[in-house]
Structure 1
Amino acid sequence: MQSALDQFRISIQRVRDLISLHNSIKAQATTALDLSDILRAALVLTVSALDYYIHEVVTLGMLEIHRGTRPEPSFRDNATQSAFAKFKVALGSANQDRKVAIDIGSWIESEIQQSYGDDFLQQSHNISSLIPIISNTILNRLNNNSWLEAEIRESLSYKSFQEPDKIADAIKLISNIKLWERVTNKMRGNTTQEAQKNIKQDLQEIVKRRNQITHEADIDPTYGLGNRWLIDESMVNDAVDFIEQVVESIHQIL
């Protein structure tokens, strides 16, 4: 799942470069030139980087669970299944795997032939020497379920993971940690309800500001035509730093 964090870091660096570009142009331009939309773009990209990270880390985590390299989340209370176990995917894309299972003998023979050549199949072998070969062949097939990855990505693509509760729901697919309790402990050094509430409220405010830009053109309706909500470098830098801390904390916990 490291690639999800690596991509987030690249995205955040792009955001910081955008802020630096704003500051550089601002230092050379007159006040008549409104550069605030560069900052708005930076804020939107920051929240998008968070959203993409959650989508990616959950997708990769679910694939690891399917492959057996990551434990399935345990379930609590009166639940009979984990969130992972209850996740639904369409089976249409799995048709090829079904065909393989129906004629598993022919498939194994074909795979071994491709990997080891015709001469290998014509030789005599004992069971103990064939078991590792057959096992690796099947394991490689299980680990190459591109159809499952496509189905997970398709299902998650309809969801937004920006709000605190939605992020927590997404993480439940790969872990049963108390997300915001652990994140708050990482960021604030305690797990009080008040501290958790403040962390989530800070994130909600950033997402709200992002939504004003993306869904409302950042128009402030209380003033005259064309007036927009104020934005400055300090506000955007604080948002970038905060979301970076949130993502880094989540990844350390996972």
Structure 2
Amino acid sequence: MFRKNMAYARNLSATAIALARQVTTAINTDDLLRASLVQGVSAFDHFIHEEVCARMILTQQGSHPMAKGYVRFRVSLDSVNQALAGSGVSWLESEIREQHGYLSFQNPDKVADALRLVTDASVWPAVGGHLNRKHEDLKRQLKLIVDRRNKIAHEADTDPTPPRTRYPIEEPMVRQSLDFLEQLAEAIIAVT
């Protein structure tokens, strides 16, 4: 699903480029680039949600190593009753989705917190080693991408100083951001 979501994000950028070549500058295609960046961050967030959920279920089934954080995951008594009634692992998936449904796994610290449920690896140093980059730089780059996404999603990407215009956005920045998010996801899979 991650690849499909990232492809959707890239298609938005490609549409912006193609459309910009065919119309006058009076028609601004920048909002397609903004949508592409928002979709890319959303795809990464969704990837973390799904990866953690799938691995927790595999852990419950005995097919994945049990992380220290896994045993600290709290479940409701309703879920305990469902588990005791022999409902397989559907109770766990419901519990994970209930608890994580309102959480955002975009901030590097929140990403690491979520992954601690399924791995004992020090996520960011391991990802940094895999990508041959300092993990602090990776975290900083992710924060910058997420901050820009937040400006788009929560502030209409508008500079608060007069004359209150939208911040500029260009396809190379969006493409590089999407590339980076894909590299992070691949590295997370490789090291955790």
Into which bin does the TM-score normalised by the smaller protein fall?
over 0.9
Asked whether the 8 Å contact 2:9–2:39 carries over to 1, the reply is yes
Aligned to 1:154: 98
CA 1:242–1:224 in 2, change beyond 3 Å: closer, same or farther? same
Matched, 1:62 2:48: no
Matched, 1:84 2:23: no
Instruction: Count residues with an aligned counterpart.
Output: 192
Distance 2:56 2:83 in 1: 19
CA RMSD of aligned residues (A): 1.4
- Aligned pair partner of 1:71 in 65, 77, 91: 65
Distance 2:65 2:182 in 1: 27
Distance 2:153 2:114 in 1: 23
Asked whether the 8 Å contact 2:151–2:157 carries over to 1, the reply is yes
SS at match of 1:215: helix
**Cα offset for 1:145?**
2.0
Distance 1:93 1:184 in 2: 37
Distance 2:60 2:190 in 1: 22
Distance 1:35 1:14 in 2: 16
For 2:187, the aligned partner's letter is: S
Aligned to 1:245: 183
- Aligned pair partner of 1:209 in 148, 153, 161: 148
Distance 1:249 1:152 in 2: 23
Unaligned runs of 5+ in 1: 1-6, 74-81, 101-140
For 1:239, the aligned partner's letter is: S
Matched, 1:37 2:31: yes
Aligned to 1:230: 168
Q: Which has the larger radius of gyration?
A: 1
Matched, 1:218 2:162: no
Distance 2:130 2:7 in 1: 22
Aligned to 2:46: 52
TM-score scaled by length of structure 2: 0.95
**Cα offset for 1:245?**
0.3
For 1:83, the aligned partner's letter is: G
**Cα offset for 1:83?**
1.4
For 1:40, the aligned partner's letter is: R
Distance 2:112 2:22 in 1: 44
**Cα offset for 1:175?**
0.3
Distance 1:180 1:96 in 2: 36
SS at match of 1:168: helix
Distance 1:96 1:183 in 2: 37
CA 1:96–1:87 in 2, change beyond 3 Å: closer, same or farther? closer
**Cα offset for 1:223?**
2.7
Q: Deviations over 1:51-106 (max 9, x none)?
A: 00001100111111111111111xxxxxxxx21111111121443444x4xxxxxx
